[in-house]
Amino acid sequence: GCVLVVSVIEQLAQWHNSTVKAAVERLCNYIPGKYQIICHMLCCIDREMNADVVCHSLKLCKQDPGQPLCHLYPPPKREKHSAGLFYALTHAGQKHQFISKSFTGFSNICAFPLLANLCEKIKYAIRNKLPFEDFDGDKFSTFPTLRGYHWRGRDCDDKNTTVYPGRRPDNWDVESDSNCNGIWGVDPKDGIPYEEKFCKGADSQGVVLLGDSAGAHFHIPPEWMTVTQMSAKSFANLPMAFTNELDWPQFSEITGFLNSTIGGWTDSLYLRLRRRNRCNHRDLQNISQNGGSSGNLLSLIKSLARNQLLDNPAIVIYATIGNDVCNGNRDTLAHMTTPKQMFSNVVQALRYLDSRLPNGSHVILTGLVDGRFLWDNLHDRYHPLGQLNRDVTYSQIYSFLDCLQVSPCSGWLTPNETLRNLTSERALQLSNVLKEIARSEKFANFDIFYMDFPLRQTAEEWHKMGGEPWQLIEPVDGFHPSQIAAALGTSITWQKALREWPQVLGKENPSNEQIEAIFKDQGGH
């Protein structure tokens, strides 16, 4: 974190030909409100030192005994000193000693008093995977972030526990809208409730994602670290991103519903199901977490909101596409999920779903990705941090994260081709486990399907549209699918479902136009 922020400050000073102090002020003015406290701590940086030297000398980065000294930039050159970084640190240490004390205890940004309260809310949302603001306790909210309606359909009465998206209508919603799809009341022409007229027998169903950071749509905006385009506008979305765990589920491949503001466009399984049947409005749940794997999904799944007796069936997408083989450990292979563990984890999750999902639901198991695509398409390109001076490639970023043992995927983000191949081999074995489960396991309340993660088809489709493969990867982390990849993936998944499992998608509702005409003012998300 320190190296990223100090790099941005030093590049701001360079780009605007200003002092570092002026660059800190500039950055602080860009950052909204209470978040400014983070950058006000960063005084006294010397423009002559690179970010590694500054952060080690401030004691925000440290070297553990017996561990390598991790650095992003090449060590400072000194003719007579092979250990340039050690030399620079010794000299910088004296200069920065007087301010390093002010950082003690602040290595975690939640220690800043102004952010402490917000951090507590975020921790609650992360710990429980439930909306922080949910007055009636039905797991749906009228607040967007902190696991609110960006993650699950918006509640339309947060004081009534029997009113929430996805339930079957109460008495055909004659008096009020019990399922928040905006359709309620009685047609004065014939006395038939609108919900009965338009939605009875229409195969209404929700969409639920059980997933990881790719499904939650992890994204760090590149404009946060591209100084040539940086302005106050660049950081306007910081509070929202922070309170959504740096995820953007509202634009995601399965449950996205808002127009993308982070490049590309939004297309999602939810939007397509809603277009097919307007009665499905707001019936979405994104139950994903950064770091989600078949193992930790077993606790995550408990935050599912579905009542077997009162609610509509759902299509559940099970998609942990990488974390069963991805970890930041030195001996990464030893920490990967084994096929036996995968089988056990997934079958346990499916048994839990069988006890919760209404009859007539569907589950789609998604295979793991082949992450060799990442190194192959990014390693020699410049990272957003390296574009100004052409000095930081993705290969350097990957090595830096690996050295710190915080790599999102030591097995794929590595120059070691053998290790990359072994990681893909394990991913394929785990995908085959999922395929076998879909073929052989049977459950009372849902049928079950398998599909490969459509990376190859996505890349081919994007190539036909004139795009480059690297544009399908998030630019800052160099690891997650980008907004373009998410939207194209939706289209490919939908076409496959139409061809091979049309029963999953339900039939087209002939009343869609009438519903839109009568309830157009109530169609908001």
d(Cα 516, Cα 198) in Å, to the nearest integer?
11
Task: Tell me how far apart the alpha carbons of residues 311 and 162 are, in angstroms, rounded to a whole number.
Answer: 11
CA 228 to chain centre: 26
Answer yes or no: are the C-beta atoms of 109 and 115 closer than 8 Å: yes
Active site (catalytic) residues = 213
Query: Alpha-carbon distance 221 to 353, whole Å?
Result: 35
| Structure tokens, 488 | 């194209």
What is the distance, to the nearest Å, from the Cα of residue 452 to the centroid of all Cα atoms in its chain? 20
Order the strands of the 284-288 sheet from edge to edge.
284-288, 206-211, 314-319, 361-366, 446-451
| Cβ neighbour number for residue 108 with a 10 Å cutoff | 10
**Residue matched to tokens 């486990």:** 433
Cα 139 to Cα 286: distance, rounded to the nearest angstrom: 12
Cβ neighbours, 10 Å, residue 469: 16
DSSP state string for 269-325: HHHHHHHH-GGGTT-EEEEE-TT--TTTHHHHGGG----TTTB--EEEEEE--STTT
Question: What's the burial of 285, exposed, middle or buried (CB within 10 Å: 0-12/13-18/19+)?
Answer: buried
Tokens representing residue 259 in the block: 């127009």
Burial readout 78-96 (b: 16 or more C-beta within 10 A, e: otherwise)? eeeeeeebebbbeebeeeb
With b meaning 16 or more CB within 10 Å and e meaning fewer, what string describes 450-463?
A: bbbbbbebbbebbe
CA dist., res. 375 & res. 415, Å (int):
8
Structure tokens at 149: 């309606």
